[in-house]
């Protein structure tokens, strides 16, 4: 029965060693790819969101992270009063505003 399974023989020669500079270059290239594909776009989105938060004004129509649409009625330091229906006003934190909508969006919704 020994002819069905071949015996495994250990090889005497070791795998060839790679140059350490090649390994470091590959790691550097991987880090660059991670930076340009993940980190940089995220930083750009954060910068745009921060600029949008700074430009908020009374009368802007906004969408919250929870999906509510409303019109900003007053702005405090970290909180906004948003009118979501006639006579219904909610207080939301400034950072939960996900987008400033074009004027007239709420009337069409």
Residues 50 and 68 in one domain: no
Whether 6 is covered by a domain: the verdict is no
Whether 71 is covered by a domain: the verdict is yes
Please give the order of strands across the beta sheet that includes 61-64.
88-93, 79-85, 69-75, 61-64, 97-101
Confidence class of residue 8 from pLDDT cuts 50, 70 and 90? low
User: Which two tokens mark 43?
Assistant: 């930083």
pLDDT digits (tens, 9 = 90+) for 27-77: 999 999 999 999 999 999 999 999 999 999 999 999 999 999 999 999 998
- Identify the helix (H) or strand (E) that includes residue 84: strand 79-85
The total number of structural domains that make up the chain: 2
Residues 63 and 106 in one domain: yes
Range of the domain at 105: 57-109
Residue 92 has pLDDT above 60, yes or no: yes
CATH code of 74's domain: 2.30.30
Whether 7 is covered by a domain: the verdict is no
């Amino acid at each position: 029965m020994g002819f069905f399974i071949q015996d495994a023989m250990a090889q005497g020669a070791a795998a060839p060693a790679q140059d350490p500079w090649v390994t470091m270059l590959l790691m550097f290239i991987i880090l660059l790819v991670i930076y340009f594909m993940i980190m940089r776009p995220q930083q750009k989105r954060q910068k745009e969101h921060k600029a949008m938060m700074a430009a908020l004004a009374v009368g802007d129509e906004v969408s919250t992270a929870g999906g509510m649409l409303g019109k900003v009625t007053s702005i405090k330091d970290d909180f906004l009063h948003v009118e979501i229906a006639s006579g219904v006003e909610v207080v939301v934190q400034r950072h939960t505003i996900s987008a400033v909508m074009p004027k007239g969006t709420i009337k069409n919704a």
